[in-house]
Amino acid sequence: MSLKKLKVTNFKSFNKAEMQFGSFNVVIGANAAGKSNFIQIFQFIKEVISSGLDNAISMQGGINYLRNMNIGASKDFSVTAVFDQEMSWTGKVNNKLEKIKMHELIYEFALNFKQKSIDYAISKDRLHLRCEFFKVTKTRIGTYNDEKLGDGEIIISSRQGKINVIMHKPAHSHLDADHIFASFLREEQLPPHTLLAETSFFSAPLIRETFNGVSIYNINPRLPKAAIPITGKAMLEEDAGNLAIILKKILKNSETRRKFFNLLAELLPFVDNLDIEERPDKSLFFKVKEKYFSSQFLPAFLLSDGTINATALIITLYFEKQPITIIEEPERNVHPYLMSRLVNMMKDASSAKQIIITTHNPEVIKYATLEDVILIARDKNGFSSITRPHNRKEIRAFIKNEIGLEELFVQNLLEG
């Protein structure tokens, strides 16, 4: 699964923005350009799914801080996310097997605001699944053969809480919406301020699985320095506060342990060993043995921020299972000498999962390729705009004449 495209209107510093993503994406921009607001789009949708729309809006500080302060109620807030998402469903129609393979998921919703009020209404809520339809036949030797019937799409939408399912299918397919979604589910009426993404309705698991596949990290190296209770999430938390728990799991398994130390040696060559200590009070902390001290481990609270940051980064890149990983300023506390290794590691990891990072560090930009870079900048009206510098001829002219991307960034020449 990967995120192909994201569109947003009237959200924080964005008026109207659209961005396309590759496997490795370096989102750059000056301070207050809108990089964190870009991350907030994902946070907001994830919050909608986990806590509901009203709570998600409240977590953003309310309607007034969700939407752009200059645009206010004059324009809908909207978000559209397009994912490459593969999923299939096989069903029997008239005693014949048919299969639907989904390859693209588009989820969009919009909120309409009332003037001089903090109230809002859902003006759009739509899940669009692009699919291929197949006839499935059993071969002589008992295997199944898929014969493509054509392309189609399933559109699930909610209008004033009423759910509607439309299926566009190839002429030779006998499937219809009833075969996939029970009609009683389609008669469900969603309560006000409720999106398809947050209901128990059949479309929600698809949306939930997709957005839960997006993990966001903003590593705080101070948190893993403290001992933490042995009870905690099995996934690395956004701030890496539960790093000791995750490390314990990794170090227990010989294969993940081998892989972890191989990768750690590249970023932190002075680390000889790393271990977890469980205290009698049922708390955990991790400790590191440096090559310079043959027998003594250093407890986490004595480790440098860079050591903790690098350790957490390796986990986000190689050990967390979510297919889309967003990391805010991964280079924090990392020595410039290690930057090329860090960027190479992120590129390497992006062959298995989609990586999106935000940065304003020229050293990171120096080792990224032009095609990976997405620039967020404020336009003259104060709106954040999103561009890909490699599409611009003047940037290509600079690069051709050996002026590095990082220098163009430092000189503030990347803006269009």
Partner 1 sequence: MRRRKLYIFVEGHDDVWFFERIVKPHLVHYYRRVFIIQHARLSTKKKYNYIRSMHEMRADYLFVVDIDYFPCVRAKKEDIVGYLRIIDSRAIVVVIKEIESWYLAGIGNHRSRKLQLPVLESTDDITKEDFNALIPPKFRSRRDFMNELLKHYDITIAIQKNKSFAYFWQ
In the complex, minimum distance from the CB of residue 412 to partner 1, in angstroms, rounded to a whole number: 7
Which segment (66-74, 157-165, 177-185, 393-401) binds partner 1 by CB under 8 A? 393-401
Tokens coding 30: 């000056």
Q: How many other C-beta atoms are found inside a 10 Å radius of the C-beta of residue 298?
A: 15
When asked if residue 398 is in the footprint of partner 1 (CB under 8 A), the reply is yes
- Give the closest residue to 382 by CA, choosing from 41, 63, 33: 33
When asked if residue 412 is in the footprint of partner 1 (CB under 8 A), the reply is yes
Share of the chain residues as helix, strand and coil, in percent rounded to the nearest 5: 35, 35, 30
Please say which residue, 69 or 397, places its beta carbon nearer to partner 1. 397
Among 229, 299, 382, 416, binds partner 1 (CB under 8 A): 416
In the complex, minimum distance from the CB of residue 405 to partner 1, in angstroms, rounded to a whole number: 13
Tokens coding 193: 């301020």
When asked if residue 415 is in the footprint of partner 1 (CB under 8 A), the reply is yes
C-alpha–C-alpha distance, residues 63 and 46, integer Å: 17
User: Which residues, including other chains, have CB under 8 Å from residue 333's CB and lie 6 or more apart?
Assistant: 221, 304, 305, 306, 309
174 burial type by CB count under 10 A (0-12 exposed, 13-18 middle, 19+ buried): middle
Which segment (146-154, 213-221, 347-355, 400-408) binds partner 1 by CB under 8 A? 400-408
C-alpha–C-alpha distance, residues 172 and 135, integer Å: 9
In the complex, minimum distance from the CB of residue 394 to partner 1, in angstroms, rounded to a whole number: 4
CA distances from 204 to 198, 220, 234 (A): 6, 32, 24
Please say which residue, 348 or 406, places its beta carbon nearer to partner 1. 406
Among 305, 322, 403, 406, binds partner 1 (CB under 8 A): 403
When asked if residue 413 is in the footprint of partner 1 (CB under 8 A), the reply is yes
- Give the closest residue to 102 by CA, choosing from 115, 118, 89, 116: 89
Which segment (257-265, 319-327, 334-342, 389-397) binds partner 1 by CB under 8 A? 389-397
When asked if residue 402 is in the footprint of partner 1 (CB under 8 A), the reply is yes
When asked if residue 180 is in the footprint of partner 1 (CB under 8 A), the reply is no
Q: Would you tell me which residues interact with partner 1 (CB under 8 A)?
A: 393-394, 397-398, 400-403, 411-413, 415-416
